[in-house]
């Protein structure tokens, strides 16, 4: 390993946070692929970083004192830096905090225009990472260190980018690259993650893993079961299918896909689709091996799935290490018909279970003030029922988990019954269902298990509805979900299941209807020229709103999918007021959903359509997305 010289804003022997002062660092302006942020980088003489953050109102004085208190209680050897504590423990704005950290310690900042980063630059990063010993490469990934390019003025100097240049491990990792000199630059975390994603995702690279199968003999149509399995095994052993499947799983995680669809469309043609922001997108078509061999490799990755069983539906789980992060997958397999009689095709759908969403708090879920207040007030009551409703994939589980994390307390016994269990919730006892313990049996057992809070995955029939009501009536808080189009129809659904009106009126506190809407890509969205006025009026906007609103349309760029990037939730919060309860009690043979909706709107409820329109008026989503994701208010 070369004896490297570092230019990073502090000397090799000085740790960030020392008491010494720094000379100003002049940042050059590059006319090449990089654009340097020209900043006056002078560390003030006796001022502390925390004081600067308070002075600029990035954090409050109370937050600073609390953060310092946390640091004082940590082991000196493993004590985190102030910026790390503020961001991770107190949810301070990371970009604002580290902007001051960079200035305070005289680091250089690198502005990367991700829209113009060429494939040549990405190939350079891949090549340099691949040349590292495995241990050093793992260290680089763990510490978020990437080689970006060589210094145009000195090809022996490597430019390295990281979102945390104060991390001492960054320096030691940088020394592992095979260059005599290097410079460490700060980039915002979002830019680093986007760059890392593009470095790792390359559909063209799938064919570089020895996937040529020209020497595999065609299997006769009359092959028996033994010969069939032998042929499949030969294809797997001679191909790079295992690595191909692992790479596609990893790409889906890096692209924030929610699902992977593995679809056989021919004897030797398998398509891989990713569901990104709620829409299926064809990601890769594999034409080198039999579709059954691809399915066999995918099934091999899952626990609880029999690779040799091709005539019945199966469910299982898989686990993969992606970028040093453990990710779980839920695997569903069903047999399907193919054109060729001998084909034994199976459709496979893999749900990606992202543990990061479990750390999300209610305030991060996009609630409007009225909905958030109604939801928080309901879940903090000692007993009753709280329901989140919406279609499959609308984020109901995420909302319930965030609600649980809000009210979790060591003094409370929290039990969950879910099928399947998608996320592990620290502090809750999650019941595992099996052939010997079904949903109904688990709920009945919970009644004798001294619960305080119970989360029921779904109220699916009269039996589970009755048990949920019984839990609420005996002094327990019950959180659950339903599949209905809006909040008022959830009341009607429970009534039709057989729940008596007086029980409905006095056990349910709030019903939250939820949808996920795609967000316009902030980098490429463009103002809509002459938007369709008639369409906007049909959506529910007034003439005045149309005249005063600037509407945007999707465009599409390298950082998004057809002009959209990410999703956000819209909510409809039906809080059970006295008048709402009165309407329910008056329903003898049916529930008047329109009366409930109108009364709730008078009380402040915003419908799903109204919530979506608000996002459109703020430039977050498009007119077409509002029309497709919500229905017209009656």
pLDDT digits (tens, 9 = 90+) for 155-173: 888 999 999 998 888 888 8
Q: Give pLDDT tens digits for 448-469.
A: 888 899 998 888 888 888 888 8
Q: Give pLDDT tens digits for 517-541.
A: 999 998 899 998 888 888 899 888 8
Could you tell me the CATH superfamily of domain 358-516+568-608?
A: P-loop containing nucleotide triphosphate hydrolases (3.40.50.300)
Cβ(485)–Cβ(572) below 8 Å: no
Task: Read off the pTM.
Answer: 0.67
The whole-angstrom separation of Cα 623 and Cα 532 is 9
Is the per-residue pLDDT at 224 higher than 70? no
Higher-pLDDT residue of 345 and 38 is: 345
Place of tokens 């003489």: 45
Which residues fall within 8 angstroms of residue 213, CB to CB, at 6 or more apart? Answer: 235, 238, 239, 288, 289
List the beta bridge partners of residue 578: none
Q: Which pair of tokens denotes residue 537? A: 């009026």
Cβ(329)–Cβ(350) below 8 Å: yes
- The predicted structure's pLDDT at residue 21: 34
pLDDT, the chain, mean: 82
- The predicted structure's pLDDT at residue 169: 87
Angle at 66 between CA 60 and CA 71, to 5 degrees: 125
**Class of the 203-353 domain?**
alpha beta
- The predicted structure's pLDDT at residue 36: 39
Q: Break the chain into its structural domains and give their ranges.
A: 5-197, 203-353, 358-516+568-608
Q: Which pair of tokens denotes residue 574? A: 């039906």
Chain length of the chain:
634
In this structure, are strands 35-36 and 108-111 parallel, antiparallel, or unpaired?
antiparallel
- The predicted structure's pLDDT at residue 571: 93
- The predicted structure's pLDDT at residue 202: 58
Is the per-residue pLDDT at 555 higher than 60? yes
In this structure, are strands 154-162 and 146-151 parallel, antiparallel, or unpaired?
antiparallel
- The predicted structure's pLDDT at residue 142: 84
Confidence of residue 65 (pLDDT cuts 50, 70, 90): very high
- Mean pLDDT value of segment 532-552: 89
Cβ(583)–Cβ(596) below 8 Å: yes
- The predicted structure's pLDDT at residue 511: 95
- The predicted structure's pLDDT at residue 520: 94
Q: Give pLDDT tens digits for 353-362.
A: 876 444 567 7
Q: Give pLDDT tens digits for 7-62.
A: 544 333 334 433 333 333 333 333 334 443 433 334 444 578 888 999 999 999 99
Cβ(143)–Cβ(173) below 8 Å: yes
Is the per-residue pLDDT at 514 higher than 90? yes
- The predicted structure's pLDDT at residue 570: 92
């Amino acid at each position: 390993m070369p004896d490297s010289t570092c230019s990073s804003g502090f000397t090799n022997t000085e740790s960030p946070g020392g008491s010494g002062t720094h000379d100003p660092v002049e940042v050059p302006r590059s006319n090449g692929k990089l654009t340097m942020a020209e900043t006056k980088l002078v560390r003030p003489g006796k001022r502390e970083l925390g004081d600067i953050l308070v002075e600029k109102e990035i954090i409050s004085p109370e937050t600073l004192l609390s953060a310092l208190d946390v640091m004082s209680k940590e082991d000196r050897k493993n004590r985190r830096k102030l910026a790390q504590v503020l961001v991770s423990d107190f949810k301070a704005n990371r970009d604002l905090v580290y902007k001051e950290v960079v200035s305070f310690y005289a680091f250089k900042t690198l502005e990367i225009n991700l829209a113009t980063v060429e494939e040549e630059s990405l190939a350079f990063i891949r090549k340099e990472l691949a040349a590292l010993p495995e241990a050093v490469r793992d260290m680089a990934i763990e510490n978020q260190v990437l080689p970006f390019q060589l210094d145009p003025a000195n090809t022996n100097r490597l430019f390295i980018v990281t979102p945390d240049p104060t991390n001492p491990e960054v320096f030691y990792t940088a020394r592992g690259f095979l260059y005599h000199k290097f410079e460490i630059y700060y980039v915002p975390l979002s830019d680093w993650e986007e760059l890392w994603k593009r470095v790792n995702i390359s559909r063209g690279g799938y064919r570089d893993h020895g996937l040529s199968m020209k020497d595999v003999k065609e299997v006769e149509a009359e092959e028996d079961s033994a010969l069939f399995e032998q042929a499949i095994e030969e294809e797997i052993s001679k191909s790079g299918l295992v690595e191909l499947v692992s790479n596609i799983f990893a790409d889906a995680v890096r692209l924030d896909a929610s699902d992977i669809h593995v679809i056989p469309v021919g004897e030797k043609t398998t398509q891989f689709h990713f569901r990104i922001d709620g829409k299926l997108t064809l990601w890769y078509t594999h034409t080198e091996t039999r579709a059954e061999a691809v399915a066999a490799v995918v099934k091999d990755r899952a626990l609880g799935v029999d690779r040799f069983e091709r005539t019945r539906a199966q469910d299982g789980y898989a686990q993969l290490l992606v970028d040093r992060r453990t990710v779980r997958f839920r695997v569903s397999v069903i047999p399907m018909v193919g054109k060729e009689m001998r084909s034994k095709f199976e459709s496979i759908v893999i749900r990606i279970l992202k543990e990061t969403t479990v750390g999300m708090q209610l305030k991060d879920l996009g609630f409007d003030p009225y909905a958030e207040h109604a939801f928080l007030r309901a879940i903090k009551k000692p007993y009753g029922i709280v329901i989140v409703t919406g279609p499959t994939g609308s984020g109901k589980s995420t909302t319930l988990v965030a609600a649980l994390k809000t009210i979790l307390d060591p003094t409370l016994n929290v039990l969950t019954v879910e099928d399947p269990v998608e996320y592990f919730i620290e502090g809750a006892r999650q019941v595992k269902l099996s052939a010997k313990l079904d949903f109904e049996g688990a709920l009945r057992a919970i009644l004798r298990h001294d619960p305080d809070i119970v989360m029921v995955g779904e109220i699916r029939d009269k039996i589970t509805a009755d048990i949920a009501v019984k839990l609420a009536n005996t002094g327990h808080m019950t959180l659950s979900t339903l599949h209905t189009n809006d909040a008022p129809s959830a009341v009607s659904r429970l009534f039709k299941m057989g729940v008596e009106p007086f029980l409905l009126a006095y056990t349910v506190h709030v019903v939250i209807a939820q949808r996920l809407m795609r967000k316009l890509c902030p980098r490429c969205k463009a103002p809509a020229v002459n938007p369709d006025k008639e369409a906007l009026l049909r959506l529910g906007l007034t003439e005045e709103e149309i005249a005063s609103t600037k509407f945007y349309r999707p465009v599409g760029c390298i950082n998004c999918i057809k002009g959209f990037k990410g999703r956000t939730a819209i909510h409809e919060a039906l809080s059970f007021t006295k008048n709402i309860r009165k309407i329910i009690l008056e329903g003898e043979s049916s529930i008047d959903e329109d009366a409930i909706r109108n009364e709730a709107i008078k009380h402040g409820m915003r419908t799903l359509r109204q919530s979506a329109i608000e996002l459109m008026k703020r430039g977050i989503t498009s007119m077409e997305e509002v029309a497709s994701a919500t229905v017209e208010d009656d």
